[in-house]
Chains A and B, each alone.
Chain A
């Protein structure tokens, strides 16, 4: 290898590369101002390869240029946070020397054009982010959004939905990491631009934490794993623009996943990290070799010097530009200790993987890439990573929103059918966003690795920490409709619901990873949503003591028909102090008391009821008092720890009636009947189907009711016994506001279970046949 050099004048355009022109700069997603800054940094015109490097590093996906000033307002610290934002994943202390690494990431645009591979590689990427921290992945959760399963666009939605679910399943199942939870929403706002957010959680000993850092001048930089091809070039830039009619043509920018190689890479990487032969490791993810090598150098305060021709390739004739920007999956960049190259190769070889020295760490602070010794890239490293411009834009609320919020849902005349509230409940239970997601999660192996105490279908997933007597709980949550109607409140509500779900499972909420899915930030309306939602998230994270340890920003989620609902998905992790505290949503025994913690209100704004029954998205998002929310969660946890609680279930979409039904359904193979009476003097539909925040349905032994109510009073939490669990297979009965909702629970459960399968059966085998033919040997 040639000795490193900083001789800028030695950089030469390669023969055959296109000349730099304003049009080429624009094609690379760089503004005229940004290009001027590049000229300033380099003191000359960039080569085509350098333009590609800047384009990738300064894309929204890598550079966070429209979100960085906002992200800085999020709380990120707490005594239990071992690693905050800026690394491959956040890490928190979970006791006994153990730590948990976790992170969420989106694969929205790839999944919109190629659902199977788009979703599969999303899972692969987030797993690598976690195991590059030295953590063994123990769970995956997914937050998904699609268009409506009924109506004119439904055929393509079903194709996307089936493909995404199969992609997630095939990848996670093969690697052998359980998919333990998640959420799926269906709304026309996501048609054409589905959201696929995957969160991975890994477990590590605190002293085994390793970072993506390039340190030690002269240390070799090694490429590990799959050979590089032309797949996914400029994926990061693709992800940083709006989807359009031409996006289909960008299918080649979607990477192809190979979960088998991922499994080998996982085992080899963990072995490598534990061997002590390396100083840093990082996934070659978005913007591939460019972003991994520059970020590692930036963290180490060093430079790198790469010889691009040493990169193991699987295609002939690849240019430095293509090699640097390829997003071929299942690759790692490793900085080894000098002299340990052979040990690294031996460990990789045991797993039949390649490891090749492609460069070394330097003290020049420059990012240098050569082709056969000839310098083709020479950029000062610090400005490449650090000088990415960031923009604080002027946001402006879309004018129609104030009007939408002012709408009073109680002014709506009920439909004639609503005379029977059971009719309304059935319609809600049949709504795919509320209905059972069994069709989805049965395609995911949720029990492999034998730690899954609570799998999909409850409020949060719970995983035991073997040998500690403790567990962790995890959830992903967001109601995009609330955020659309009231971004600040909606952002806070997402955090509150995630924390509430953890508390319902017996866990103390600890930390957040967030996935900010928004529209085009250059549009003031979309930027307003982003800024406001982040402010709401920040306030709620402070109030609930759940700092943000990292996450992902996905902007430009629009398609020709408009923007998605702003959807800041909150992934949250909590700690269950004692396995005896693990609590699930389902009723446990006939005769148990049903207690409501929290206060019912007259709110119906932004509810699933308004959308499903009246076809309206209007009103304000439910009010949220963060102090009351915190008191509710602390009260619930205290009650669980005191052994007073048999089941706990968050009250969310569909309101109290749906929450009660879900607790009845989840009670076992035969759903429980139930007898409830609500005495609040509130309008019937608000009482049954309103989505007031900070409420939990709890069941407890009859003799525990007094103690539970006393505890609630101590915490200042409104609480009342509202009913009794009935016989399995009995009647589901709620009396409220002078009306009675009554139906055989088995009938309601059947509606809830059949809602998604009945919509997917038609033609779904054809979808799978098509998918199967697409999945060929990598």
Chain B
């Protein structure tokens, strides 16, 4: 497998936090890679460092040491503007707590990344509507997030992550705040993005049933990779909401 096909390439990533004189090491030198179009689930108990790893991969945080190549580019030494552009164009985020703007319509929420992009304004509406359609929310565009169910809110967040057509989608416990039925819908949508649109997905979860949607599971324990295995019996897309 050549390096060029790896969209994510991390080598010996370490991360420690300093709080006064106390230094807490969270990642102890992690090396792994993700192929373009791959669906990887990162699993681990709370405190294992999986969220920190995702933040580093999503350029929300920088590692203390180690190298990280994203799409072939070395991410160390990126300026604030370069990082913002990559977060905007190449990365989409889905969070456990949805993080939608209150008192702002579904359509406006989905458009949010476009506001910070260089996409011409006249295309915004169509892009946002297309993204809403992909998650089955075309009928909810003018509603405000408070009028939606948890599952619907997470679908808005997925549409928002999708609107700028990024290569990678990072999902941090996307089903953590959802009932099992909504969780299944959300996971089916995410899996479909991977299978039909070729999006690279990096998902964090601590539920094995959720991780089964991925092609590969990386287990983290105490800041180290414990195992890295292919999923033998990957779940099929079953949900009725997903066409």
A and B together in one complex = no
Q: Which residues of A contact B (CB under 8 A)?
A: none
Q: Which residues of B contact A (CB under 8 A)?
A: none
